[in-house]
Structure 1
Amino acid sequence: MASRTKHKDAEKRGRKAEMLAAMLLRAKGYKIREQRFRSTAGEIDIIAQKGNYIVFVEVKARKTTELALESITSKQQQRIENAACLWLQQQTSQNFAVRFDVITVAPGQLPSHMLDAWRPGW
């Protein structure tokens, strides 16, 4: 039972962090295209657009920004890249520049937006 409660708490924190991240992106002029995009390759927290850029955003909520950044593994990056490829294949227009960003959410701090957090291995 305790692990189920922990999982629910983590899920709740994650959803709240994603909501804050989406609000931050909107305030910065991004249009949210999708949230919690699920595919056979994995999930992307937020897909946003600003101008000609499609931005795939990973949202991490941890005790500190540093812990949030450290929690993003190369395996996770690959999964997000694979899901991004699938999303892009579904679009009718392929004239997008693509970027992978990270938004971290830590208690007592404003969400932090790291642009171009990594480059895909395509």
Structure 2
Amino acid sequence: MPAPWCWPAAPTMPATPEAARRRRLTFARGRRAELLAALALIAKGYRPLAWRVSVGGGEIDLIVRRGSVVAFVEVKARPTLDEASVAIDARKRRLFSRAVRAWIARSPWSAGLTLRADAVFVAPGRWPRHVVSAFELDA
């Protein structure tokens, strides 16, 4: 039996103005990182298909295509590229894979294409690092 409908929970508000400011800065940093990642991928010949896709309980930062390859891209911004490269943990990979499966189910045109999970790591003052097939997509 489905749960009865109810109003969605109110968004949680940060406890202090400082926490709210930090949250806004983090959000803006993430948006800039995604833009830099997209520009770097465009320079490599990829064509953006979608940005910030939220489906299936997970989120895909970028979906890009080059030829017969569709790459689902996780973007991580950290103070250094090394810190960014270790920021994709098992939980994030699981949620990412769930979102990819949901996207594929809604995009039957992608059936004959090569699908992979890439990552782009962004750090201040550095060109974004694109890692092809950064991790396996869970079946």
Q: TM-score range by the shorter chain?
A: over 0.9
Report deviation, 1:121.
Answer: 2.5
Amino acid at match of 1:65: L
Partner residue, 2:136 = 119
| Structure 1 residue 102 displacement after superposition | 0.7
Select the residue among 72, 79, 89 that pairs with 1:73: 89
Unaligned runs of 5+ in 1: none
Instruction: Tell me the equivalent position of 1:24.
Output: 40
* Other-structure match for 2:57: 41
TM-score (norm 1): 0.96
Deviation at 1:118, TM superposition (A): 0.7
What is the TM-score of this pair, normalised by structure 2? 0.85
Match of 1:100 in 2: 117
Moved over 2 A (4+): none
Confirm or deny: 8 A CA contact 2:56 2:98 kept in the other structure: no
- The residue type paired with residue 51 of structure 1 is G
Q: Which amino acid aligns with 1:103?
A: V
- The one-letter amino acid paired with 2:126 is Q
C-alpha distance in 2 between matches for 1:86 and 1:40: 5
> Identity over aligned residues, as a percent?
34
| Aligned-partner Cα distance in 2 for 1:121–1:13 | 28
Aligned to 1:9: 25
Quote the Cα distance in structure 2 between the aligned partners of 1:44 and 1:121. 14
The answer for unaligned runs of 5 or more in structure 2 is 1-16
Superposition RMSD on alpha carbons, in Å?
0.9
